[in-house]
Amino acid sequence: MTPGSAIVTGAGTGIGRAVAIRLLDDGWGVTLASRHRETLLAAAGTAARGIRPNALVVEADVTDPSSVEQLFAAHAARFGRLDLLVNNAGTFGPTADVGELGPDEWQETLAVNVTGSVLCAGAAFRQMRDQRPQGGRIVNNASISAQSPRPRSVAYTTTKHAITGLSRSIELDGRAYAITCTQLDIGNVRTGLLDGLNGAGALQADGSVRVEPTMDAGPLADLVAHLAALPLGVSVPHLTVTAAGMPFIGRG
């Protein structure tokens, strides 16, 4: 598939930033979205040259339906069509078990990780369905917590399990419109969410604390770029990618 146009949410930092930069390098038209314009501008260009000509920066709150609609409208006005959505915005939420989880903390985590992903996927689905030629690819960042929880991560784990249902529904409902969906279950990337793993260590299921292996975001960006380059006749519903040696297979 030749480079088209993409929206990447949570594009100012971490995995989203790496993916957006890789797609820009590959010649894609990319709309970079998050709530923080400064980090988006840094990801979208260079100090010497400013924003790249194939980049669009849009401040957006994925939990707000009107903000999401404005994001997709801005992308369509600039690039005309949408070939790829990288649904990456997310939050780890509180460290708590279900008995300790407060209702406000739960609602905040649910709003970003589930409502935000559904709103963005819905807007992408409609645009991909209605454009000509039809079709596109949606990539949902689910985390390996969609398969197995960490201790005291009930809010994050529950919301990431919900992404599995979203991804499978998109893949099924999108068949008639040449829309495919890939769920990426990612483990231990060196981003702000994992600062503790590089310092004091992470709580394990047996109650111990250990520093776990981590990986750079670059190979994940390469993987998303590879998925984006596949023809729409090829579907990759689910991929699991972790730092080698992390305690995931055999957790507990």
By annotation, the residues acting in catalysis are 156
Determine the Cα–Cα distance for residues 248 and 233; give it in Å rounded to an integer. Answer: 32
**Closest Cα to residue 137, out of 183, 74, 201, 180?**
180
**Which residues are CB-neighbours of 190 under 8 A, at least 6 positions away?**
198, 214, 215, 216, 217
The DSSP letter of residue 144 is G
**Which residues are CB-neighbours of 25 under 8 A, at least 6 positions away?**
none
**C-beta separation of 245 from 214 below 8 A:** no
For residue 229, give the amino acid letter: A
For residue 195, how far is the Cα from the chain centroid?
19
96: tokens are 């708590």
**In 10 A of CB 90, how many CB atoms?**
27
